[in-house]
Each structure stands twice: as structure tokens, then as C-alpha cells.
Amino acid sequence: MDEVRNIIARLRTRVKGIAADRMRLEHTLHRTETERDRLRDEKAELERRVAELERRVRVLELSSGISEVSGGYRPARERVNKLLREIDRCIALMNR
């Protein structure tokens, strides 16, 4: 009879340990999911910033190249700005 009680006591201890492990793992899972979501949002923001900076670099490269060819910054810059506004309008129409 004592042997059966010992087995039951060990099983109870193991079950409590498993339940504690489960709770700890659920907590870890929740923290990990929260961190994943935060990193996903941060990644999206950084990708957006990279795209914007790449667009600015292209604009600067284009305006630099045009100004060297046409002999002046002001007309070239106005032309580039006009082209960019036109491109932005086209993109907005495509997104509708």
C-alpha cells in the first residue's frame, strides 16, 4: 500500500511540474509573439524608410545629372520636381 502511495505522490509531483512547465512555456510564447509583432512592425517601418531614401537618392542622382547637362540647377530641379509629381499622380491612380 505504501508503494502505491509513493507512486501516486511521485505522479502528482510530476503532473505539477508539467503544469508549471506548461504555464512557463505559455508565458514565454506570449512574450515571443509580442516581440515578433514589434519586430515585424519595426521592419516594415525601416523598409518604408529605405524605400523613401532610395527614392531621394534617385532624385538627387537624376537632378545632378540633369544639371550638369543643361547647365543649371534651377531649371533641372524644377523639371525633376514636375516629373516626380507626375509619377506620384500616376502611382496614386494605379492604387485606386
9-42 pLDDT, tens per residue?
999 999 999 999 999 999 999 999 999 999 999 9
Identity of residue 8: I
Identity of residue 87: I
| Rounded Cα gap, residues 53 and 66, in angstroms | 20
With H, G, I as helix, E, B as strand and everything else as coil, classify residue 63.
Answer: helix
Q: If you average pLDDT over every residue of the chain, what do you get?
A: 86
Given a cut of 60, is residue 69 above it in pLDDT?
no
Structural domain spans, the chain? 2-95
For residue 48, what is its C-alpha cell? 518604408
Q: What is the CA radius of gyration of the chain?
A: 31
Residue 72 binned pLDDT confidence (cut-offs 50, 70, 90): low
User: What is residue 75's predicted lDDT score, i.e. its pLDDT?
Assistant: 72
Q: With a threshold of 0.85, does the pTM exceed it? A: no
* Measured distance between the N- and C-terminal CA atoms of the chain, rounded to whole angstroms: 78
Identity of residue 33: E
